[in-house]
Structure 1
Amino acid sequence: MSTLAFALAATIRHDGNGGVADLLATPADAGAWVEQQHDQIATVLDRHLEITDPGELRGELVRIRGAVRALFARAVAPEPPSKADSDRLMDAEAALRMVNRAADRLGTAHLDWPVDGPPAARWSGRTGNETALLVGAIGRSAIDFLAGPDRDRLRACPAARCVKYFLQDDPRQTWCSPACGNRERVNRHYRRQHGR
């Protein structure tokens, strides 16, 4: 389930022109993101979500994303956080409260073990509100990720125009992608050649 929070954090991206693109900019964008995450969400909630208020969905996703990104920034410290929101990060204690409250809405896990199938954990929500259940799944995902071993691999890409968090696959990996590494090497070469 940890990839759901990571996927939400990645909805802040570099726009290709030196700025930041928000993949949740509109209620329709938020709905599209939920559809893209359908399989991960269904794994947690064991059903398809029926979102009735796209505006509420967008607002809740943006709020929990702010909390997740603030906790990601805390996790990568003392290294700098992502440049996308480093100047407006939510207070870490407020982010913790928000993530914990969200996860609480998801309820508790129960063991489901059909006679003809493997056992599985199923979540029983404390609310019937679909948006609250989704936010709860994201909160639970953030808790699982930040309390797990992958937290130590979390990095903010230091490339000048990149705003991503990524999982470091190799101790020597500095950039989120080869493209960011190449851009930084080109920039460094340019600065050396032109005395900047």
Structure 2
Amino acid sequence: MDDTLATDVAPTVLPPAPGADRYRSLDFADTAATLPAGQSYDLLAAPESAMRWLAVHDLTTPDVQLYEVCAQRMRTLRGHIRALFAARVTATTPPEESLRAVNEALTAVPTAPLLAWDGAQGLRRIQAHPTDQAVNHALATLAADAADLLTGPDAGILAACGSAPCDRFLLRTHGRRHWCSTRCGDRVRAARAYARRSGASG
């Protein structure tokens, strides 16, 4: 994605959904969104924008170059994580291929910091990020984060945005309300107000 396109897209990108600050996998799932009037965006659509997303979320280093095949792997894993989130929200059986894809990402590389030794600092834990394994580590970290969300105490408050056509996920933080952003909430309230006015005038 070039700078011109990034500038054109930026105004339509929604702010992070509730819970995205606690789960990077939630923000990862929401890197693509459907907006009203046939609009949409995909923050992983090109290697450059996918690289920026990884860097902002501390999942890679600035010196790592991302290629289209890696961006495609990110988009594929995102689709599987979204399928698992959707299954959790709707209380349906998750797709077997999505479970398999997340498990493959989980086991591809060690996600725990490794034990290392050097003469100056002695024993310490380091996160291994060899350049050729950087995307594998990022995907493994996101898969682990998604698994933690789906099996942890916050799984019960995972929700889909209730403002069609938005298809983002969030963690419900205020009772039953489940909108991913103020913009989506305003759209729901405006639609309800219009429906009331229409009903009253009819």
| Amino-acid identity (%) | 30
Q: CA shift at 1:125, angstroms?
A: 7.8
Task: Select which of 168, 180, 195 maps to 1:164.
Answer: 168
Moved more, 16-25 or 97-106: 16-25
Give the structure 2 partner of residue 145 of structure 1: 149
Q: Is the 8 A contact 1:2 1:142 kept in 2?
A: no
Give unpaired runs (5+ residues) of structure 2: 1-20
Shift of 1:146: 1.2
Partner Cα distance (1:126, 1:96) in 2:
27
Aligned residue number for residue 59 of structure 1: 72
Distance 2:137 2:111 in 1: 12
- Report the equivalent of 2:26: 6
Name the counterpart of 1:98.
101
TM-superposed CA distance for 1:24, in Å, is 1.2
Describe the SS at the equivalent of 1:194: helix
- Would the aligned equivalents of 1:14 and 1:161 in 2 still touch at CA under 8 Å? yes
| Counterpart contact for 1:106–1:136, Cα < 8 Å | yes
1:1-196 residue pairs with structure 2 within 5 A?
3-15=23-35, 17-38=37-58, 41=59, 48=61, 50-78=63-91, 92-107=95-110, 109=112, 128-194=132-198
Q: Judge conservation of contact 1:112–1:121 (CA < 8 Å) in 2.
A: yes
Secondary structure of 1:166's aligned partner: strand
Instruction: Summarize the Cα distance change of 1:27–1:138 in structure 2 as closer, same or farther, 3 Å threshold.
Output: same
Aligned partners of 1:56 and 1:50: how far apart in 2? 18
Q: Which residue of 2 aligns with 1:85?
A: none
- The answer to whether the Cα contact below 8 Å between 1:105 and 1:126 also exists between their aligned partners in 2 is no
CA drift at 1:149: 0.9
Specify every segment of 5 or more residues in structure 1 that has no aligned partner in the other structure, as ranges.
43-47, 80-90
Q: List per-residue Cα deviations over 1:59-113 (Å, max 9, x = no partner).
A: 111010001100000110149xxxxxxxxxxx61100000000010122535759
Match of residue 84 from structure 1: none
1:75 and 1:92, CA in 2 relative to 1: closer, same or farther beyond 3 A? same
User: What is the CA–CA distance in structure 2 between the aligned matches of 1:57 and 1:133, rounded to whole Å?
Assistant: 12
TM-score w.r.t. length of structure 2: 0.72
Decide which structure has the larger Cα Rg and report it.
Answer: 2
CA RMSD of the aligned region, Å? 3.3
Distance 1:110 1:21, change over 3 A: closer
Conserved? CA contact 1:4–1:141, under 8 Å: yes
In structure 2, what is the Cα distance between the partners aligned to 1:179 and 1:108? 36
Contact 1:76 1:154 in 2 (8 A): yes
Residue of structure 2 in register with 1:82 after alignment? none
67 and 2 in structure 1: CA distance in 2 versus 1, 3 angstrom threshold: farther
Pick closer, same or farther for the CA change 1:187–1:105 going to 2, 3 Å.
same
